[in-house]
Structure 1
Amino acid sequence: MMRLERGSSRLYAMMLILAVVVLLADQLTKFWAVSTLSDSERIAVIPPLIHFRLLYNAGAAFSIGAGATWVFALAAAAAVIGILYTARRLASTGWALVLGVLLGGAVSHLGDRLFREPGFARGHVVDFIDYGPFVGNVADIALTCGCAAMLLLSLRGVPLAKTPEEETA
């Protein structure tokens, strides 16, 4: 059973709440896109920079690996498990926020892979925010920002987790 120290449990809860917010924002905007946009429609939001355009992505970024959707489902599941395990001894608010954003994006993409058409572990991710050469969604934005923030925290030397010595002190 996972044991969390008092400070860590507060940070863990913060991470989980942020993950749920990202997950809900992503899934609600995807629901909107699927119910509102047609496959060929392109709606200008901030021309010429941002449009809405509905796509179903079977692959990863740039639709790479469209024939290996199950691999991306496994990768998303591994990311979720890895984040939940690593976050047991969170040491900072910054890392709790970063891991929350990453967890929310990973869970949302995992849900798409598992439960969307064409079937279990082969589902396509709904993309609808068109930024020129890229088309993505809220989870993609969260994952990109989370990775950038993770890099910044790492470069600044902010510790991710408490060491076992710090936990017993």
Structure 2
Amino acid sequence: MASHLKGVTKTTMTDEIRRELCKHNKDNPSLTQKKLQEWVHSNYGLQVSQATISNTVKRSLEYLLLPPERGDVKRHKPAKFPDLEKSLYEWILQYQEHVNMTNELIIEKAKKFMKDMYPVDAPDFTFSIGWLGKFKARYGIKNFRRFRESGSIEMEGMEDKLKSIMKVDQFYNGAPFAKRSY
């Protein structure tokens, strides 16, 4: 896609590139924006406008403080309900080891939080799959697939249960987990 700037193709830098640009600018404060453009081009192969460099340098503190796991984000769109999302994220952290977190469960919990947090004038908001993907990206949530019944296993007292299994095995076979012939 061509830019309105002559000879500059539209590109978008990731936050990681922006962070590196801000570090480079901080380490070399005498560099001009033109030199910073050349540095981005030589290190990342991106042609960016002087305005992009200017806006990035202006927001240096913000980019330098971003957590590293957010480095692949290109555009930022703030959440419509940040308090709701923060509560939902805390709920996920608290229950992720006890409950098999599915997309449907997270969406249902978000709807419940919406009703609880905005009881009088609850906004008409659709918790779509698109919203869920962006929510997960904002909070760095990754999907982990649990196989079969692993999500329903109670880990409390597992060591005692394993010891009792080993005692039964020793009783029948004389040695822990001996090979059995059937």
Do both proteins adopt the same fold according to a TM-score greater than 0.5, normalized to the shorter chain? no
Larger Rg belongs to: 2
- Tell me which protein shows more helix as a share of its residues: 1
Q: Give the TM-score normalised by the residue count of structure 2.
A: 0.22
Q: Give the TM-score normalised by the residue count of structure 1.
A: 0.23
- RCO comparison, higher one (Cα < 8 Å, 6+): 1
